[in-house]
Amino acid sequence: MLEQGLQLLREKTGRKDAAMTRVTVIGAGLAGSEAALTLAAGGADVTLVDCKPKTLGPASANTDFCELVCSNSLKSNDPLTAHGLLKAELRTLGSFVLAEADGCAVPAGSALAVDRAEFARRVTEKLRESGIKTECCIAGEARDGYTVIATGPLTMPPMDAYIAENFGSLHFFDAEAPIVSAESIDRDKSFFAARYGKGNADDYLNCPLTKEEYDAFYEALVTAERANAHEFEKGEIFEGCMPVEVMAARGRDALRFGPMRPVGLTDPKTGRRAYAVLQLRKENAAGDMYNLVGFQTNLKFGEQRRVFGMIPALANAEYLRYGVMHRNAYIDAPRSIDMFFRAKKNGRVFIAGQLSGVEGYVESIASGKAAAMHLLRLLGGKEPLPLPCETLIGALSRYVAAENADFQPMNANYGLLPPFDPQIKDKQKRKEAYMARSLEAIARYTENY
């Protein structure tokens, strides 16, 4: 099993000179935290470097490590979905960060959402309890010995220049959704319900709109003033974090088939399905903050108050955080790293997290776990062991390393996995087959590790 493999690596690395087991992890986000914890568990001498708590990054608001700066949702927990299956694989591998997320989950239907402040606190405490040395500074390059760079898509100078010079520099734009005070939401014009009854009834607070209300909201949204619109007019927007106003511009019903789809939700006050519905999800365990689900935006702050205030339940909403858009950087992975997240020019440097070209919270955790596991084998005198292509972790590892003239960030999805032969036409049975094959493959991997 994997734990037995880690024990063997602890024994092997423990017999080597300390310099041979020294690893620096730069960046204490999702990927960096997972990598540092995995390396420490395997017996490596780990130093975790981050600008916190002295300096906050451009999107940070918390001095703790492993801060979630966008949504507080890690997407589906259902193993019959790609994101749920990725979590199941990580749990099999013993993900430390995902375990902390599980420990501070907030109601979110079939999704895994967390109290983001508690999550960051728990991971920070775990790092400090694990014998990992921490260094507070802004790093500018890889260190002596092995280095895992996981500084994230908002990497600050001078590290951004080092990464661009050695790994290439690509970018896209994504956005964050606003957060509002729970007590400022009009409960007479909203209702609790989970879509199709999945999860607990109070997992989501739903804000319904009539056709007339939606039409007025739509017109205001597509004509509202945006912030820094000229910076991303070239279409460099990641589909998974598309601003709501950009999505709306694709057509009047785009939102009704997207984040405002009313299907599966019946308003108990009317007994009918609304024309459109905005869902709000608890931002923390106390339930005094709510996130506007799917409402990432780049509207000016005043426009957010005006336009979103046209949704009846949010007419008097108090905004605890406005939505913002930022530029995300990532490397030209196919040209600069291999499937082990290891630099092609310098085999002592690894790139993990969204910098590597994986997109999403759990994908970042997965890359940090994979990079650390491969590095531990090197410390133990072995070659890295490729993760199975039948697993989403293995498929993502191969995706970032595969030749690609138009390389773009990638979320976990079934399209990355090898097809079945013969083809399984039934969608439900195909999902079940993906899950069974993946979990069997990851179990074999842990046994051989």
Within 13 Å, how many C-alpha atoms sit on residue 159's CB side? Answer: 26
Choice among 17-31, 41-55, 377-391, 398-412 with the minimum mean pLDDT: 17-31
pTM score? 0.77
Tokens (6 digits) for 92: 């099999």
CB contact at 8 A, 208 and 191: yes
CB contact at 8 A, 361 and 74: yes
> What is the structure's pLDDT at 240?
60
Sequence letter at residue 104: C
Confidence of residue 57 (pLDDT cuts 50, 70, 90): confident
Domain 2-169+331-448 matching CATH 3.50.50.60: the answer reads yes
> What is the structure's pLDDT at 435?
97
Q: For 98-113, how does the pLDDT look when each residue is reduced to its tens digit (9 = 90+)?
A: 999 999 999 888 899 9
- Answer positive or negative: Cα dihedral of 244, 246, 249, 251: negative
Distance (Å, whole) CA 185 – CA 445: 49
Q: Which span out of 132-141, 171-180, 265-274, 321-330 was modeled with the highest average pLDDT?
A: 132-141
CB contact at 8 A, 305 and 371: no
| Residue with the larger pLDDT of the pair 227 and 102 | 102
Confidence of residue 201 (pLDDT cuts 50, 70, 90): confident
- Answer positive or negative: Cα dihedral of 443, 444, 447, 449: negative
Q: For 334-357, how does the pLDDT look when each residue is reduced to its tens digit (9 = 90+)?
A: 999 999 999 999 999 999 999 999
Distance (Å, whole) CA 10 – CA 301: 52
- CATH code, residues 179-327: 2.40.30
Q: Report, as an integer, the average pLDDT of 24-32.
A: 97
Distance (Å, whole) CA 7 – CA 386: 20
> What is the structure's pLDDT at 14?
53
Q: Report, as an integer, the average pLDDT of 202-224.
A: 95
Q: Residue 237 pLDDT > 60, yes or no? A: no
Bridge partners, 50 (sequence order):
136
Q: Residue 380 pLDDT > 60, yes or no? A: yes
Domain 2-169+331-448 identical in fold to domain 179-327:
no
Question: Which residues are within 8 A (CB) of 290 and not within 5 positions of it... i.e. 6 or more apart?
Answer: 179, 180, 181, 182, 185, 205, 280, 281, 282, 283
- List the domain boundaries for the chain: 2-169+331-448, 179-327
Helix, strand and coil percent figures for the chain, each rounded to 5: 40, 20, 45
Please give the C-alpha separations between residue 303 and each of 134, 215, 299, 308, 323, in angstroms, as whole numbers. Answer: 42, 17, 6, 8, 11
